[in-house]
Amino acid sequence: MPSAGVPYGHSTPAIFGENLYDDQGVGVYGRGNAFGAYCSGTNGVLGIAKRKTATNGACIWGYPTEAPDAGKTIYSGLFQDNDLAGVIGLADFGGGFTTKPFNTPSDRRLKTDIRNATVGLNAILQLRPKQYRYIASTPYNFPKGEQEGFIAQELEEVLPGLVEDLVFPKSLDPKDMAASGTETYKGINYTGLIPVITKAIQELNDKIEAQAAIIDRLDKELKACSKKD
């Protein structure tokens, strides 16, 4: 455990802070060169926003106050699984948005065994797009209303690399989530469909160009026959 200042708590709760006197009140405040707060447990940090009169609130808020020195980086939020079996870097069971796009690392220097894609139009023609609604009785806050997409088990038959098993806790209640057990569902990497669709469009374009060349040749032959007559 990192070295700690005082006080050090060893009870339930180990450290408790409360400040309910103003809108900017801080319950617990920590500063450190490595960690401002170090939390270890079944749930490392549990953030609960309970002040319903607040204009805006956040359970966990990453808020950098200054830019790092040149060549250095600050992550407002950093989640990693350390490639440990059964560990998920980030799970979000609610709606949301981002004001900037998420980028997937795709630098050539990070890749090996690079080759031209061969999966395209034939795979796309085997897919079966569906309209559906999510079951409302689950605790996972899925989107409401009619959805467009695929059934993971069906897509897995055609593009198995785009389907992955996702482990969900059976309960999202902080009091019993750890002991609630898990349920495994299949998920789809929809972004991974983009290169397959791109390849399919390219193959279709090749077919169109080939057909256009045939039509052009037949048109010229027909005109040549007309002149002879």
Higher pLDDT, 105 or 20: 105
> In terms of C-beta density within 10 A (0-12 exposed, 13-18 middle, 19 or more buried), how is residue 196 classed?
buried
Which tens digit of pLDDT belongs to each residue from 138-193? Answer: 888 898 999 999 999 999 999 999 999 998 888 888 778 778 888 899 999 999 99
Tokens, residue 132: 């559906």
Nearest to 141 by CA among 187, 208, 94, 97: 94
**The model's pTM:** 0.74
pLDDT tens string 8-50: 555 566 666 776 666 667 777 777 777 777 777 777 777 777 7
Query: Comparing 76-80, 109-113, 186-190, 194-198, which segment has the lowest mean pLDDT?
Result: 76-80
pLDDT at 220 over 70: yes
Q: How does pLDDT run across 84-100, given as a tens digit for each residue?
A: 887 778 888 877 777 88
